Structure 1
């Protein structure tokens, strides 16, 4: 089968297509013919080695995070799916990717594709929807009437998280450029800051939660807009001790991640704010719940561009520019809508 892989970590990772054997199924896996694969910023970071300490790949490794496709074979222990089912899933942190003609998907990671979405639309959702769900609903337990700040509202995470936060009954603040103001307002954003001309930390205050989606000093600035007792859930780091312990890392890494997060942890403590780092996990049951919201049209996918399978490198290059309005998807089977 054809797959888009990287061969090594570093500045010259050897990105490109190669022919690989179809995956051999474990008893709890589905063999899925890929119709579309969603990509995310971390797909450009993985080949650099940035996450080598926490994400394990056997090289050459397939890139891509999200998948939507059709089940062509099921393992002997599979009970919830059958051949012919249309599914969607995230394979993040599973040691392989989705930019391939076939992938093996653990049953626990998969859910039936929302009936009102095509494969491209479904492939845009898994990682951003699971990240938003686990951050806002599971970790922060966002409640009606609370206020959440979601920077970069027009990006992949932002476009989904704004909609989920509104579904949960929250007031939403966000940042974007003026050309994307109408988009984020249409998704439900209440307070919209033009990051090119305005400083959010001077205009916003009293927030219950910040979803950390942008790198640099933006997270430190955001501490000041959170009320005492509020929370910051960061998706971009710095990694913390709790993350290292949750993944059963050795004491050296626990100390290293503690050192990396010392500044933001100190700021948060002084402001009586809780800081934590979230590393999204695949979860088919949660995707099932998210699918119900999508089918009820409470949340809709936002897609910027769709690339053909042969354009996988161009898709990653485009995503790396950081200008996408919503998600970038690679259509693996050209006959699909």
Structure 2
């Protein structure tokens, strides 16, 4: 894709990522509550027990939930538990797992990835079928899992029907299905379903459930929807350095976020602000937004001089180069993106008056 990542510390980071947002106030309150008294470590606390109950209510009575520190950890732990040592995972070539996790799947998880050049970041049934030639061939890692990103790195969204079709094909050929759900909440809001409904309709066996991008602090989880598809996940979490001694501080955040309407409000706001930003950008001369955002990411094609103006003040990544030669920027909205921030960015995009 030719992504150019800017790292300048003096630039406004407001639209660089949804990771730039702070912590939702009610989550800070939840952290303060569990800080009032001692509690058993390593998940033996009341907040962790309540989180397990919530997961079973949301994802089914067989569901298990394992809090972890970050999304990379969630993905690597999940796939290790799903794959034998000779197994491999089919993914989109543009997936975060393939491009943005510092080779953690390979180096720490010993996971072979099988990237597919998926249009719009979405795998389809043909991608599953294309890897079947390796099945039973001793010289090739065996395709035994499929990992889907919902929503994708390019801001697109699998429909429920698309997810179901890919999962059905994977299961038919004996593969497990994992979803990288760093923005699972944004996807659920966009599709008008609950978290459990999205998992159920998708056919996912395991979901990496993201909390950090939606208002939490270093709080993610591996949700096992189908325990028959994993082995030793608790042990893997420990040796992968993702087991928190004071787990109550992760569990309480996830509980506050997901057992209330907070996840929905935060994701809904982020999605709505992205739609607003895209519409306002499209009104500017020379700007083209190929597709209105499905979730909280906007990818506008802008004139080079406009990109230069924006990037002189804002930490904004150049994501691609359009056929016109103009840069395509990536702009992310978050649960706390304001109308004022959007207007400030638009003002920066316009030529300065003499």
TM-score, with normalisation over the residues of structure 2? Answer: 0.33
User: Which structure is larger by alpha-carbon Rg, 1 or 2?
Assistant: 2
Could you say which structure has the higher strand fraction? Answer: 1
Which has the higher relative contact order, 1 or 2, with Cα contacts under 8 A spaced 6 or more apart?
A: 2
TM-score, with normalisation over the residues of structure 1? Answer: 0.34
Could you say which structure has the higher helix fraction? Answer: 2
